[in-house]
Amino acid sequence: MDDEAATHALLVFGLSLLVGPAVGALVGRFKTFFWGAGIGALLIGCAGLYGAVTVGWQRYQSIAGTASTQGSLVEFVEERSKDSKGYVTTTRAPLVEYTAADGQKRRVKGLGGSLSDKEWGDAVEVRYSTADPAQALVADFQNMWGIVWGLGLFGGFPTMFGLFFTGMALKEGRRGRPAPVREPTPTQKKWRTRGTVLANVVFLAGFALVFLYPDDSAMKQFGAGFLTIGAGALLHFVVQSFPPAMDFEARAIFAIVGLGFMAFGYGAWMMG
pLDDT on residue 83: 65
What's the pLDDT score for residue 182? 72
pLDDT at 246: 81
CA dihedral sign, ordered 55, 111, 213, 199:
negative
Dihedral of CA 130/132/138/144: which sign? negative
Q: Torsion over CA of 29, 34, 35 and 41, rounded to 10 degrees?
A: 110
The C-alpha atoms of residue 54 and residue 8 are separated, in whole angstroms, by: 9
pLDDT at position 177 is: 59
Instruction: Decide: 48 and 12 in contact? Cβ < 8 Å.
Output: no
Task: Provide the 3-class DSSP secondary structure of residue 167.
Answer: helix
- Check if the beta carbon of residue 237 is closer than 8 Å to that of residue 196: no
Q: Name the packing angle between helices 33-64 and 3-30 (round to 10°).
A: 170
Cβ neighbours of 162 (radius 10 Å): 22
Please state the pTM of the whole predicted model: 0.82
Question: To which H or E segment does residue 7 belong?
Answer: helix 3-30
One pLDDT digit (tens) per residue for the chain, 272 residues: 667 888 999 999 999 999 999 999 999 999 999 999 999 999 999 999 999 999 999 999 888 889 999 999 999 998 877 766 667 788 889 999 999 999 999 999 998 888 888 888 999 999 999 999 999 999 999 999 999 999 999 999 999 999 999 988 988 877 665 566 677 888 888 888 999 999 999 999 999 998 889 887 888 999 999 999 999 999 999 999 988 888 887 888 899 999 999 999 999 888 87
Is the N-terminal amide bond of 178 cis, ω within 30° of 0? no
Rounded to an integer, what distance in angstroms lies between the CA atom of residue 146 and that of residue 245?
38
